[in-house]
Chain A
Amino acid sequence: MLSSIRVVLTLAQKDLSLFFADRRGAALAFVVPILLASAFGMIFAKPPEESKAIQLPLLIVVEDRGDFTNIVAESVLKSPRVQGERVTREEAIRRIADRRPGIAVIFPCGFEQLKTNKLNQPGQRPNVEVLHHPLCANEAQWAEGILAECVLQRLASEHLTPLIGSSALTMPFEIRTRESTGPQEGFNSYSHSFSGMTLQYLLFWGMESGLLLLRDRQRSVWLRLRAAPVSLWNVLLGKAVATTLLAFLQVLVTFGFGYCVFGVTVSGSMAGFLGLAVAVSLLSAATGLMVAALGGTEMRARSVCILVILGVSLLGGLWLPSFVLPSWARDLSLALPTTWAMRGFDAATWQGRDFLTVLPSLAVVFGFTVVFLGLAFTQLLTSEARRRRGYT
């Protein structure tokens, strides 16, 4: 038993030496996820001045000459939520095609009729056209909301002035918007990006480690290993230990940088965070062994892995919060370890949750790891036994 542990540690030490033998390569392996996480964090961070009023770039086309229409159009243009510009329909169509900007609201002829329509009465309603670039569907909904607010405000003013004697109606309530992040109130957009990018990079590191094993199995050094008094179990465990240690170091370095530079903190359970760090590092090793077990050739394995990793990163909410995904994708993502790892990291970092809240995520990630390791070991041991008997 002791000699087996010594052999496993020797094999792991060899892999670590090989990793650090290329010092620049090793440094890049730590720098790249930090750069990615910083870039994503920066993109999604809201500077204080912008967080007060984000303005929607909007084109306004007024084809009706009525006063009411003009007043509504002006109120849309003056809305603090809009950065508007009056243009002709032709110009709006041309500029939307170039996404400069992506939305236009068109008040067509006949819109003025709305002023005289009785509220809440059936009958023909005037149309307002909202044109948008195919990639600006969300902004179009935003424009509809602003338009509805301005039109209803103006209509209410027209219809209620005779009753209440005031020409200017304002919103009868104040809206106070603020972020809610749980008891610790420690949200930092970098927390999410550092968790996401670290996880994604761990998967890539797992892939790389698996490809290395795949490559080693084709080289004569594998023959020497197989001729040595070392079991295949030991060789695979050595690989898993080295991959896990490097992945764990990756987590510590990336989050350490996030803490020092961007104030990413573990506001919740430190034990939960460290447990997750170990779990995702093991998951990285298990992914690597799966790649080596099922990959076939290196080229085939690499292509499939990239597809899978990018897919699980997107669905798992590693790039963007998963609420932007359609509901079927959100449901599907529950079957992925990355989703649970991300939930766990979010809970342990900016959400400030306790260990019990992190525990389900921890359990699911460990569960996936055990299943992956089981599959990989079974497949690799079987294929190597077949190879020894001359079947492959």
Chain B
Amino acid sequence: MKPGLALQLENITVKYRQNVAVQQLSMSVERGEIVAILGPNGSGKSTTLSVAAGILEPAEGIVHAGGIAQKSNPRGFAKLVGFVPQEAALYEDLSAEANLHFFGKLYGLGGYDLRCRVALALDRVKLTDRGQDRVSTFSGGMKQRVNLAVALLHDPPLLLLDEPTASLDPKSRELLFADLHRLREAGHAILLTTHHLDEAETSCDRLVMLNKGSVVAQGRPAELIRHRAGGKAVLYGHLQEPLPQFFVKGLRKRLGREVEIEVTGRRLRIAAESQELLGMALATILSDGIILETFRTPPGRLETLMRHAEQERPIAEVV
């Protein structure tokens, strides 16, 4: 393992029974960088992260963190990793402080050191005044912040986050990325999964694009975008209320095949072949009484890359 690398995955293959979820995947994360794994649903993002966290055992390949192989020293490996599952992995009936104390003890912390770390962690996520409150009384954003605080308690050099922004509103998302950027500055290596291209493009140092369990592209966002081809008009929005499935289906039917609509929780993504079509789709949605808290149309270049990736067109590896 090269010095400076916080995580290295070498030729990882993961199988769910006979189905290959990840095939011959190799990637690494350096200290002081944020790497995003991108890909459509079922591309192997969460599986890769689970392997990196030591939760899943690959059929083939080696996982190293800070020079420790997961297979030969699982406990030593686990202490170097802070894992943040997609949903808040907390005991809702316990207070934030009790959750932090519990998980801290599992990592061998205790006494005065643990008390100091818990206080610091709560301060870091701006929840000092709510530390004694049950997690069940917290908002989604607050839970996600405690979720992150738990993973940081033992000060791991490597942080793994599975879809950390999936259920967050725009403000909580910004706060989370601000936290991640601070951690990056402090020398932590961060690997996260997302299928939100906007945040990957703007907030991450490096991207790894997966499709059907294989890496189809990886590199810095700007470098990847230089290799783009074609374009698609895209709009990212944040809904005031989540939409029921039947409503989304109806909307898709009305807008036709030229417009793609994707709703994840309260996040909306519309992609269309042209700006006109995108405008029409937005007008239809707004006329249905759907309220968008925010929306923006990013350059859409990563979108194109992703489309290529999904269609398995060859994209040159940039790095």
Complex alpha-carbon distance, A14 and B15, angstroms = 34
Contact of A220 among B21, B75, B79, B85 (CB under 8 A): B85
Contact of B106 among A219, A220, A229, A389 (CB under 8 A): A229
Does any Cβ of B come within 8 Å of A127's Cβ? no
A388 — which chain B residues lie within 8 A by C-beta?
A: 55-57
B55 — which chain A residues lie within 8 A by C-beta?
A: 223, 226-227, 388
Does any Cβ of B come within 8 Å of A65's Cβ? no
Complex alpha-carbon distance, A14 and B59, angstroms = 34
- A57 to chain B minimum Cβ distance, whole angstroms, is 53
Interface of B is mostly: mixed
Contact of B79 among A6, A7, A21, A229 (CB under 8 A): A229
Complex alpha-carbon distance, A332 and B17, angstroms = 42
Contact of B108 among A18, A229, A389, A390 (CB under 8 A): A229
Contact of A18 among B85, B87, B93 (CB under 8 A): B93
Cβ of A223 and Cβ of B57 under 8 Å apart? no
- A216 to chain B minimum Cβ distance, whole angstroms, is 9
B14 — which chain A residues lie within 8 A by C-beta?
A: 390
Cβ of B21 and Cβ of A224 under 8 Å apart? no
A230 — which chain B residues lie within 8 A by C-beta?
A: 106
B78 — which chain A residues lie within 8 A by C-beta?
A: 227-229
Contact of A223 among B16, B81, B83, B91 (CB under 8 A): B83
Cβ of B89 and Cβ of A224 under 8 Å apart? yes
Q: Hey, what's the 0/1 contact readout for A6-30 against B, CB within 8 Å counting as 1?
A: 1100110110011001100000000
- At the interface with chain A, which of B97-105, B173-181, B193-201, B252-260? B97-105
Cβ of A223 and Cβ of B89 under 8 Å apart? yes
- A167 to chain B minimum Cβ distance, whole angstroms, is 81
Does any Cβ of B come within 8 Å of A391's Cβ? yes
Which residues of B, 271-310, contact A by the 8 Å Cβ criterion?
none
Contact of B89 among A10, A14, A221 (CB under 8 A): A221
Does any Cβ of A come within 8 Å of B38's Cβ? no
Known: A18-B93, A220-B85, A390-B14. A7 touches B106 (CB 8 A): yes
Known: A226-B55, A227-B83. A220 touches B89 (CB 8 A): yes
Smallest CB gap from A390: residue in B? B16
Which residues of A, 306-346, contact B by the 8 Å Cβ criterion?
none
Known: A18-B94, A388-B57, A390-B16. A220 touches B105 (CB 8 A): no
Complex alpha-carbon distance, A219 and B53, angstroms = 16
Complex alpha-carbon distance, A6 and B150, angstroms = 19
**Interface size range of chain A in the complex:** 20 to 34
Complex alpha-carbon distance, A225 and B151, angstroms = 11
Q: Hey, what's the 0/1 contact readout for B80-92 against A, CB within 8 Å counting as 1?
A: 0101011111110
Does any Cβ of B come within 8 Å of A3's Cβ? yes
Complex alpha-carbon distance, A360 and B35, angstroms = 63
- B22 to chain A minimum Cβ distance, whole angstroms, is 10
By the criterion of a CB under 8 Å from any partner CB, how many residues of chain B are at the interface?
37
Known: A3-B108, A229-B79. A21 touches B89 (CB 8 A): no
Complex alpha-carbon distance, A6 and B86, angstroms = 29
Cβ of A17 and Cβ of B15 under 8 Å apart? no
- B7 to chain A minimum Cβ distance, whole angstroms, is 14
Does any Cβ of A come within 8 Å of B39's Cβ? no
Contact of A229 among B15, B17, B102, B107 (CB under 8 A): B107
Complex alpha-carbon distance, A122 and B53, angstroms = 92
Q: Which of B59, B76, B78, B150 has the most CB of A within 10 A?
A: B78
- B271 to chain A minimum Cβ distance, whole angstroms, is 30
Smallest CB gap from B16: residue in A? A390
Cβ of B107 and Cβ of A228 under 8 Å apart? yes
Q: Hey, what's the 0/1 contact readout for A202-227 against B, CB within 8 Å counting as 1?
A: 00000000000000000111011111
B93 — which chain A residues lie within 8 A by C-beta?
A: 18, 21-22
Does any Cβ of A come within 8 Å of B134's Cβ? yes
Cβ of B107 and Cβ of A389 under 8 Å apart? no
Cβ of A221 and Cβ of B15 under 8 Å apart? no
Complex alpha-carbon distance, A223 and B150, angstroms = 13
Cβ of B59 and Cβ of A390 under 8 Å apart? yes
Does any Cβ of A come within 8 Å of B54's Cβ? yes
Cβ of B53 and Cβ of A17 under 8 Å apart? no
Complex alpha-carbon distance, A226 and B85, angstroms = 11
- A357 to chain B minimum Cβ distance, whole angstroms, is 44
Which residues of B, 140-163, contact A by the 8 Å Cβ criterion?
150
- B176 to chain A minimum Cβ distance, whole angstroms, is 17
Q: Hey, what's the 0/1 contact readout for A85-102 against B, CB within 8 Å counting as 1?
A: 000000000000000000
Cβ of B98 and Cβ of A220 under 8 Å apart? no
Complex alpha-carbon distance, A11 and B91, angstroms = 12
A22 — which chain B residues lie within 8 A by C-beta?
A: 93
Contact of B87 among A6, A14, A220, A229 (CB under 8 A): A220
Smallest CB gap from A226: residue in B? B55
Q: Hey, what's the 0/1 contact readout for B106-139 against A, CB within 8 Å counting as 1?
A: 1110000000000000000000000000100000
Complex alpha-carbon distance, A7 and B85, angstroms = 22
Contact of A6 among B59, B105, B134 (CB under 8 A): B105
Cβ of B56 and Cβ of A224 under 8 Å apart? no
Contact of A390 among B17, B79, B150 (CB under 8 A): B17
B107 — which chain A residues lie within 8 A by C-beta?
A: 228-229
A3 — which chain B residues lie within 8 A by C-beta?
A: 108
Cβ of A18 and Cβ of B150 under 8 Å apart? no
- A190 to chain B minimum Cβ distance, whole angstroms, is 35
Cβ of A228 and Cβ of B106 under 8 Å apart? yes
Complex alpha-carbon distance, A388 and B50, angstroms = 10
Cβ of B102 and Cβ of A21 under 8 Å apart? no
A220 — which chain B residues lie within 8 A by C-beta?
A: 85-89
Cβ of A17 and Cβ of B106 under 8 Å apart? no
Smallest CB gap from A25: residue in B? B93
Cβ of A223 and Cβ of B102 under 8 Å apart? no
Complex alpha-carbon distance, A170 and B155, angstroms = 94
Smallest CB gap from B160: residue in A? A227
Query: 8 closest Cβ contacts across the A-B interface?
Result: A220-B85, A229-B78, A224-B89, A227-B83, A229-B75, A21-B93, A220-B89, A220-B87
Q: List 27 A-B contacts (CB under 8 A).
A: A7-B105, A7-B106, A10-B102, A10-B105, A14-B94, A220-B85, A220-B87, A220-B88, A220-B89, A221-B85, A223-B50, A223-B85, A223-B89, A224-B85, A224-B89, A224-B103, A226-B55, A227-B81, A227-B83, A228-B78, A229-B106, A229-B107, A230-B106, A388-B57, A390-B14, A390-B16, A390-B56
Inter-chain pairs besides A11-B106, A18-B91, A224-B85, 4 sampled, C-beta below 8 Å: A3-B108, A10-B105, A221-B89, A388-B55
